[in-house]
Amino acid sequence: MKKYLLLMILPVFFMASCAPAEKENPFFSEYETPFGVPPFDEIENEHFEPAILEGIKKQSEEVQTIILNPEAPTFENTIAALDYSGEMLGNVLRVFYNFNSSLTSPEIQQIAQEMSPKLSEHSDNIRLNMDLFHRVQAVHDQKEELDLNPEQMRLLEETYKGFVRSGADLPAVKQERLREINTELSSLTLQFGQNVLGETNAFKMVVDNEEDLAGLPESSIEDATERAAMEDMEGKWVFTLHNPSVMPFLYNADNRGLRKKMQQAYINRGNNDNEFNNREILAKIANLRLERSRLMGYDTYADFSLENTMAGDVETVMNFVDEVWDPAIALAREEARELQAMIYEEGHDFTLEQWDWRYYAEKVRREKYDLDEQEIRQYFELNTVRDGIFMIVDKLWGLQFVERLDVPKYHEDVQVFEVLEADGSHIGILYMDFHPRDSKRGGAWMSSYRSQRVDQDGKFVHPVITIVCNFSPPSATRPSLLTYDEMTTFFHEFGHALHGLLSDVHYPSLAGTSVTRDFVELPSQIMENWANEPEVMETFALHYETGEAMPESLMDRIVESAHFNQGFATVEFLMSTYLDMEYHTTTEPFDEDMLYDAADIVEESTIRKKGMIPEIHFRHASTHFNHIFSGGYSAGYYSYLWSGLLDADAYEAFRETGNVYDRETAKSFRENILERGNTKDAMEMYVDFRGREPVIEPLLRQRGLAVDPVKKDPVPFDVEPVID
């Protein structure tokens, strides 16, 4: 999956001592750069701490001004003023959090650890400030008498609800404990993610026998050769746990013992007896979330978290996931039998294991469909795919992309584009950071350096958006050639970028991707549908050397194979969904002497309850499950599938017109979904676009778990192309 940055910290009274403002600190003055992007060429690590502390101080003063306002509370002097507060702090944190994910270092990680409790305290001082809450409550109590437009009413409701869900109406003794929990959680979740990155970077499998490279594509061998040279190991080959290295190895390496070594290292990140161990950390996180939820009056953390989603409650989520699980596990069992049969046909007598599945699935796929991932990659050169995406959104919405070489960027690999409307008017700036490095966490995500809004002077503020990926890098002899999954991931993240870029709302906290977790993946996942359309693919699937379009026969075989191995993919995903819910529907905390073993207990319970087949592992196991222990998907990993329900049904609206580029449908999707941010209830926005609530049949067809009674022909889909 993919990670979204929480950019809005609500205000409160908090007086912080901070170092004197340094004149050379770029965060202390307005950015004098093209389009007002952050001056990356001027920012040094030493600038972050004083700027964060100054930002906390400024927002605290802004909040105090709201509290001490002698006038009666109104929407403008309380709700809107609160939403606009903290601009400097937001500017600093957007850069800092993005750096901590995509350009981190021991120094940045140390700053993050030191600032995390201060930021948690600042946030609590805002959310738990009774004088501030009473002003918010006073406006909320008179909402029916106020002449508010729909967006203002939404902001009022979301602000009031945010205070209540943060504990503003709890008694003082419970608030004090809530502060302690929040501070501890802020540090633990940060440490969890840093450990996963540390373990990923620490692992290196060195191959010194050329025979052990059998089966690997030339591109993987070349990358391993270059990595070895970087490590001063000329004449050897180095493989890592970064996706462009580990995944081709698991799919292609003939050496079963080395496949096992790689697969076990991959699934055991954060689970080894070293400084990166996450076992006790994750159990403490789960315990603290449960305690916090109980303080708030909920039985479980999932009850608390899901109350604020489209799904609404645990029962709805579990019923929905179970509806997909039954056909998925049945299909996975059939796939396992097919792979085992191939093992026997080759003359082997071993039983299919987790480190064998991808390898033999790739063999079966080649045999059935005559498909070779390395052949397919020849047609997905990174920049050509990028231009294909640009072409698609031009046809849908008339958007134009102009590369800007005059805009500061934080790393030499980054590409920067100005995004324009069809009439040439400015929309925003898009950064794209494509390749893995040790300073970048795994996976792919979208974030922002500036969110869209209308400022207090009535000026429209254009967004600055970034998408960050870990795609196969170029080598000395070839450009970056994407796998099929990487190509769809690019489309996925670009959909998130459009959600941020096309936002057209007034208030900062309602802009762009600031929607519920089970709605935010709709704009990203619907883009994957265009990636899989043959008539669309033929415009960007061009051979990187000859420029020739992908042969129709190859494209037909790709479409024909769309549902191959989908039992595995769906079960792997759903098991992590069940694992997430197992942690967050518990009603009892782990005892102190159980903390280290909690991961084993919960995983074994999840496997037993669902009848998981041993040949498949969790897509994300406990100790490296960044989504739920270090990201924003706790009790929410199901969201990818829920959004799949939405995107599959939404894409049908285009197909029903007979034209996947239908401009009227695209216009409606933009106006009712992409532009609206969180200004309306998510289901209301969806109904505004579709004319009805979503139905599940398109999702089941796309997953190959049902057959279209009319077409009798499934269409390709991937619930979550990002492997974190």
Catalytic residue numbers read 493
Interatomic CA distance for residues 100 and 466, integer angstroms: 14
The three-point CA angle 454-458-459 to 5° equals: 65
- Among 524, 537, 531, 467, which Cα is nearest to 496's? 524
Asked if 638 and 323 count as a contact pair (C-beta separation under 8 A), the reply is no
The DSSP code for 615 is T
Asked if 9 and 186 count as a contact pair (C-beta separation under 8 A), the reply is no
75 φ, ψ to 5°?
A: -60, -45
Interatomic CA distance for residues 225 and 221, integer angstroms: 6
The DSSP code for 381 is B
- Among 720, 296, 289, 298, which Cα is nearest to 517's? 720
Torsion of CA 323, 326, 328, 334, to 10 degrees: -160
Interatomic CA distance for residues 139 and 77, integer angstroms: 10
Interatomic CA distance for residues 510 and 164, integer angstroms: 18
What sign results for the dihedral spanned by CA atoms 569, 574, 446, 226?
negative
543 φ, ψ to 5°?
A: -60, 130
| Total Cβ atoms within 10 A of residue 298 | 16
Locate 623 and state its tokens.
């100790």
Locate 507 and state its tokens.
């208030």
Locate 453 and state its tokens.
């809004």
What sign results for the dihedral spanned by CA atoms 465, 457, 508, 118?
positive
Edge-to-edge strands, sheet with 400-403? 400-403, 415-420, 426-433, 464-468, 445-450
Locate 87 and state its tokens.
């601009």
Interatomic CA distance for residues 130 and 169, integer angstroms: 8
Interatomic CA distance for residues 468 and 2, integer angstroms: 9
DSSP H helical ranges for 296-313: 301-306
- Among 598, 607, 711, which Cα is nearest to 652's? 711
The DSSP code for 380 is B
CA-to-CA separations, 301 to 270, 394, 630, 694, 719, in angstroms, rounded: 23, 43, 16, 27, 25
Asked if 430 and 475 count as a contact pair (C-beta separation under 8 A), the reply is no
Paired with 415 in beta bridges are 432
Contacts of 151 (CB under 8 A, 6+ apart): 505, 506, 507, 510, 679
